[in-house]
Amino acid sequence: MKKHNFLLLLQFLLVFFFNQTTIAQSIIIKGKIPIYISPDEPAPVRRAAEDLQRDLNTVLGQPSAFVTKLPQKGPVIVIATADHYKENKLLLKDWEAHQIYADKEHIILNGADMRGTIYAIYSFSELILGVKPLWFWASEQPVHKDQITMAVNYKKVFNSPDIKYRAWLPNDTDFLTPWQKLSDNNYQALFEVMLRLKLNTLEGIITGKESFTPPYSPGKDAATGQQRGLITTGHHLNIFGSTYAFWEDYWKEVRHLPAPELTIANRQALKEFWGYHIDLAKRNNLEVVWLVGFRGNHDIPFWEFFPDAPKDDKSRAKVIEEMVQMQIDLLKEKTGNPHPPMRLTLYNEMSNLTAAGLFHIPDEPSLIINFVAARRDHFPALDVRNYTFSGKPVGYYLNFQFTSTGSHLAQAEGPRKMEQNYRIVDSLSGHKLLFSVVNAGNIREHLVELSANADMMWNFKPFNPTSFLSTFSNNYYGSQYGIEISQLYQDFFNSYWQQKKGDLPGFERQYLFQDLRYARAIEMLLNDLEKGKYSTNPLDNHPLDDPSKGSVGYFRVIPADNDAENQLEAMAKGTASSIAKLEKITIKSDQIYNKLESGKVFFDDNLRGQAYLMLHLNRSLNYLVQAYESKENKEKKREFIKQTLNEIHLTKELLNTSNHAPFNDWYTNDAKFGMNLLEKRLSDLYNELSK
């Protein structure tokens, strides 16, 4: 008995001393841990520190205060760039490199430069506090913890990103913009998630109405990006971040003159207008990658906007060359920099002119030649595939969302297709890829693709889409179902109807029938049904199928590629194939959803809900094709119209369930898909057939 008691005492003492040793080798992070920021830190670092302060309060349940002096004892978080922390023995020097490490009881969040420190702050939130980068967009509050243990020898170093400039373009934002206007939290969420994913550039314009009256400040997006530490760059039609929408404002408010006519001949007026935007950015200390180029107002070629534009392609290319050279000369003069960071985006007609050998890119060592994925179906276009590279920096623009035919309500391109695009461009360029931008429109629908792109642009060489999906799924849905969900994502991306066989060897899923194509195809069938017309190829002659505008291949339904005689048969076969795949995916999704604990809402929004949405859209088009083929059988046609209408109702109900906090009324502002109009036309047709 005595021996037994002795052994119990010995065991207790061993456990006690082991625990004491472990505690002595650990930093215990509790609520109210102070945050010290070096007095030399710029405003964007302090803004990120405010998010850290919120994260600490959310996770640990007590507010942390900013302190102006380092405490003599006890744990403290130290935010300091470069050598601002005097005891820093681990200096980093490369672009945006950053680290988290422990120095006794000091937890050091350190970057080689301003953005590096910002990334260190958000990395600490993710790795130590458990705040996921998409927490807000995933509708998931961080998990509460009483305390967090951190090893005293903790050290995590992030080297420089593989791709220097990593951008998002929020474009065609029919859901995002009204939602952003509801609150400042909503508005800030875009900028915060960009930095949490370690992006560094926002593409758009740099002006607003406020930019043309004292004190001549940047527009809200550019100003907020600057406050957050982001670089700004122009969209492919926004030269130096300008827009012709403010042409009148500039001449009236700044020059106090009547606005001259916008013509190619009036180059002095154009030069003055563009020069104002360079001066505006410089005066407000914006960090800019300067966009040069020459397009029209909105997303059109310049010859559709300027009244004195030439009529032939060779002359049009010459005008663009002259305008671009004028802009480059102006930029060098205004900045005093012989090699300012610039980019030229070869979008649409620019891509065609370059591929035809008509447009010649200026020989400028700091000019990023920004190629663009083919429109509507996103793969490296002919210009980049045939271009002779000479060591100059290269950029790539990829659409995840495309307004007329692309993914609007559901993601479609996926991590694997994104990776293939970038691998091809990087390889063709001789590994000179320097700039990436993805067009993701409303953001929320494309969170997996956006996260994959951000990850690949930082870790280009080792990135693997399958591994990414596994890591992503484990992180957001838990390890118990992570592997199954990552496979479901792959199955979902592979469920899309490939209405045309690929023509790039080895390039998977080159052509896809994304959700907006369903909306437009339904419209084309309804046009005939309402008029009593019939055609075996009813998708021909879409209004936007205009080769002169670079818009060839609106639907790209190739009957022979579907073992079909015509478009009707191809649509019937293609949708039936996708329906079979999506039925399996939704059944599996339901099974997981009913058991899932972590990330349940996000799973429903981002995968299960999107699978059901595409299932309903495939069924709706399939039923409508059958209605169309019913011809004179009025009763049969009416029944299929009823089934189509029911699927559209189910799609609307599905979207309504996604209108939850913090995304209340998200889908009520649909201006692109046109769900309500489709529903009305189907209902009217059904009623007409009931007479």
- pLDDT tens for each residue of 416-466: 999 999 999 999 999 999 999 999 999 999 999 999 999 999 999 999 999
Stretch 284-311: mean pLDDT: 96
- Give per-residue pLDDT as tens, 613-624: 999 999 999 999
Whether 186 has a pLDDT exceeding 70, the answer reads yes
pLDDT at 671: 85
| Cβ contacts of 200 within 8 Å, gap of 6 or more | 96, 115, 165, 166, 167, 229, 230, 231
Tokens of 678: 């489709």
State how far the Cα of 359 lies from the Cα of 352, in Å rounded to an integer: 9
What's the maximum distance between 2 C-alpha atoms anywhere in the chain? Answer: 106
Instruction: Tell me the average pLDDT of the chain.
Output: 94
214-228, 541-555, 578-592, 675-689: least confident range: 541-555
State how far the Cα of 254 lies from the Cα of 627, in Å rounded to an integer: 60
Whether 55 has a pLDDT exceeding 60, the answer reads yes
Strand, coil or helix: 373: strand
Give the confidence band of 543 by pLDDT, cuts at 50, 70, 90.
Answer: confident
pLDDT at 19: 44
pLDDT at 15: 45
Q: What number of other Cβ atoms are within 10 A of residue 461's Cβ? A: 8
What sign for the dihedral angle of Cα 678, 679, 682, 688?
negative
Task: Say if CB 395 and CB 165 are below 8 A apart.
Answer: yes
Give the confidence band of 16 by pLDDT, cuts at 50, 70, 90.
Answer: very low
533 to each of 41, 385, 581, 630, 635, how far by Cα in Å?
69, 42, 32, 12, 17
Task: Say if CB 325 and CB 273 are below 8 A apart.
Answer: no
Whether 375 has a pLDDT exceeding 90, the answer reads no
Stretch 562-591: mean pLDDT: 98
Stretch 107-123: mean pLDDT: 98
Whether 80 has a pLDDT exceeding 60, the answer reads yes
CA atoms within 13 A on the CB side of 264: 21
Strand, coil or helix: 101: strand
Give the confidence band of 686 by pLDDT, cuts at 50, 70, 90.
Answer: very high
- Give per-residue pLDDT as tens, 142-169: 999 999 999 999 999 999 999 999 999 9
Give the confidence band of 371 by pLDDT, cuts at 50, 70, 90.
Answer: very high
Whether 181 has a pLDDT exceeding 80, the answer reads yes
pLDDT at 8: 55
Whether 551 has a pLDDT exceeding 70, the answer reads no
State how far the Cα of 621 lies from the Cα of 613, in Å rounded to an integer: 12
| Cβ contacts of 360 within 8 Å, gap of 6 or more | 317, 321
Stretch 106-116: mean pLDDT: 97
Strand, coil or helix: 396: strand
Stretch 346-360: mean pLDDT: 94
Q: If you ran DSSP here, which 8-state letter would residue 127 be given?
A: I
β-pair partners for 35 = 66, 77
State how far the Cα of 201 lies from the Cα of 454, in Å rounded to an integer: 11
Whether 89 has a pLDDT exceeding 50, the answer reads yes
Stretch 289-305: mean pLDDT: 95
Helical ranges in 229-345 per DSSP H:
247-249, 267-283, 313-335
Stretch 574-595: mean pLDDT: 98
Whether 550 has a pLDDT exceeding 70, the answer reads no
In this structure, are strands 148-151 and 26-29 parallel, antiparallel, or unpaired? antiparallel
Backbone angles phi, psi at 413, to 5 degrees: -70, -50
Task: Say if CB 292 and CB 345 are below 8 A apart.
Answer: no
Among candidate residues 49, 177, 31, 50, the one with its CA nearest the CA of residue 111: 49
Among candidate residues 226, 229, 171, the one with its CA nearest the CA of residue 203: 171
pLDDT at 404: 87
| Cβ contacts of 214 within 8 Å, gap of 6 or more | none
pTM for this one?
0.94
In this structure, are strands 165-169 and 367-372 parallel, antiparallel, or unpaired? unpaired
Give the confidence band of 9 by pLDDT, cuts at 50, 70, 90.
Answer: low
Backbone angles phi, psi at 101, to 5 degrees: -150, 160
Residue 316 identity (one-letter amino acid): R
Whether 225 has a pLDDT exceeding 60, the answer reads yes
Stretch 629-633: mean pLDDT: 93
Look up tokens 């929020």; give the residue: 170
In which element (H, E) is residue 94 found? none
Tokens of 627: 């209605």
Q: With pLDDT > 70 as the criterion, what percentage of the chain qualifies? A: 96
Q: Is 107 left (phi over 0), alpha (psi -120 to 50) or beta?
A: beta
Q: With pLDDT > 90 as the criterion, what percentage of the chain qualifies? A: 91
Backbone angles phi, psi at 260, to 5 degrees: -70, 160
Stretch 293-315: mean pLDDT: 95
Q: If you ran DSSP here, which 8-state letter would residue 252 be given?
A: I
Please enumerate, as own/partner, the contacts of 390-393 that have beta carbons within 8 Å and a separation of 24 or more.
391/430, 391/432, 392/364, 392/365, 392/367, 392/368, 392/432, 393/366, 393/367, 393/368, 393/369, 393/432, 393/434, 393/435
Task: Say if CB 450 and CB 441 are below 8 A apart.
Answer: no
- Give per-residue pLDDT as tens, 489-516: 999 999 999 999 999 999 989 999 999 9
| Strands (DSSP E) found in 304-427 | 342-345, 367-372, 394-399
State how far the Cα of 24 lies from the Cα of 16, in Å rounded to an integer: 12
pLDDT at 13: 44
Task: Say if CB 144 and CB 119 are below 8 A apart.
Answer: no
Backbone angles phi, psi at 65, to 5 degrees: -100, 150
Whether 479 has a pLDDT exceeding 80, the answer reads yes
Task: Say if CB 543 and CB 415 are below 8 A apart.
Answer: no
